[in-house]
Amino acid sequence: MKKLIRIATGLIVAHLAGAAMAQQDSSAASTDDSKLYWQLSPYTLHFSPSEEHRNVYMIGVERMHASGKLDGFTVFTNSFGQPSVFIYPWGKIYHGIWGIEPLSFKWTAGLLYGYVDPYENKVPLNHKGFSPGAIIALAYEFKPGWSAQVDMLGTAGLMFQLNLPFR
């Protein structure tokens, strides 16, 4: 039941934040052709599995600007079942890498919160649950606006996610 409540809360927060991100004044709307995407992740592969590890569930909202700049946030349960947040005001997407048009490379950087006692040492530079975060990813667009993505989570593992247009 707790998992269901966390997921429902995450969906509500993501929806409200997405709506807030979508609201722009008319002057910004005319110069910025940004698009919003839902991010969903049902599975994370740990490189060194442990009995302490729990399923990781993530939902988020990402904004992609026409210039390729990325920003957004995710809410998730970390590998130890703790509610966590990653807010990233910095990021970039590079389309058509290696000459493959639907393949993209992405990087994001920001602030991570959620790795608290007794797991505060599982992420570098953690202070009272807050730490810097950075993720690199490969995404493949299989339908306009829809993509599958693999995120590299440092030396810990890979997160598999689906990106969907926000409507």
Cα 71 from Cα 69, distance rounded (Å): 7
Predicted confidence band at 4 (pLDDT cuts at 50, 70, 90)?
Answer: very low
- Per-residue model confidence (pLDDT) at position 27: 45
* Residues making up the chain, counted from first to last: 167
- pLDDT digit string (tens) for 142-162? 999 999 999 999 899 999 999
What is the rounded (10 degree) CA torsion for 13, 9, 129, 38?
-50
What would the CATH number be for the domain defined by 2-165?
A: 2.40.160.20
Q: CA–CA separation, 153 vs 137, rounded Å? A: 9
User: Rounded to whole angstroms, how far apart are CA atoms 152 and 91?
Assistant: 14
In the chain, where the domains are located: 2-165
